[in-house]
Structure 1
Amino acid sequence: MCNSLPMVILCRIFLLSLLLWALNPVSAGAEDVKAADIAPIYIQFAPISVPLMQGGYVQGSFHIRVELAVTSEKNKEAVDRMMPRLESAYLMSLVDLSRYVIRADEPADLVSIGAALQQSTNDILGPEKARVLISEAAVRR
């Protein structure tokens, strides 16, 4: 059947393509299961507001809504258990940031704010347990 060199090459190409075709549904099914396993679960927090002080006077306020994205039910349960500590840590971080980073007359630096909130999350839950998402942020004068 595959006696000559061109026929050997064609047979190998055919067998390789047949093998790839046969494995394709299995790998696609595995990817679907893997994607379903890591689909994020979103946990919303109540909005947080902090006053923006400057020179001893309130110059405005900063309002933010935060969500956490977790990838497992176990991490979701940990967030639910630690919700009061997370909310308190977020409020303390935002009060600290309102002194030097968040200003009433400037746009909010969401990268710095997100990094500070992510650090608070990592300190409480552990690294890579949840990802902080800022869904809303506003500076009001």
Structure 2
Amino acid sequence: MTTIAVERGQEWLAKGGLRPTRQRLSLASLLVGDGHNRHVTAEGLYAAAHEAGEKVSLATVYNTLRAFCAAGIMHEITVDGTRSYFDTRMDDHPHFLWEDENRISDAPAEELEITRLPAAPEGAEVTRVDVVIRVRRV
């Protein structure tokens, strides 16, 4: 990994108030080291880590991704209750789910218009709205 990738990973972890353990730092560097946002699955990040020579278990990758989400530096997008994607882009934006490719990508937020949401149940508040638009190549 490059020095700049590691520095970006350290800054990203610091933004979430997370201690930069070796495994967190290696995964963070893979996620944000090039300065671009990522949509990953735990399995995809696990494969990328092993390709980069990092020794981490799939369980550690899952736990680390969940810690990144809890720290507010990443979002989890759950699809069908069976698949989760993790997104490093933190602003509100919709996603395309490419059903034939099992991947997600950002959809243009400026083209999405939500005019009204139902009121949250008593004693609750809306914390986030995930919009996933399913697409497939024709």
Q: TM-score, normalized by length of structure 1?
A: 0.21
Task: Report the structure number with the largest CA radius of gyration.
Answer: 1
Q: Which has the higher contact order (CA 8 A, sep 6+)?
A: 1
- Identify the structure with the greater strand proportion: 1
- Identify the structure with the greater helix proportion: 1
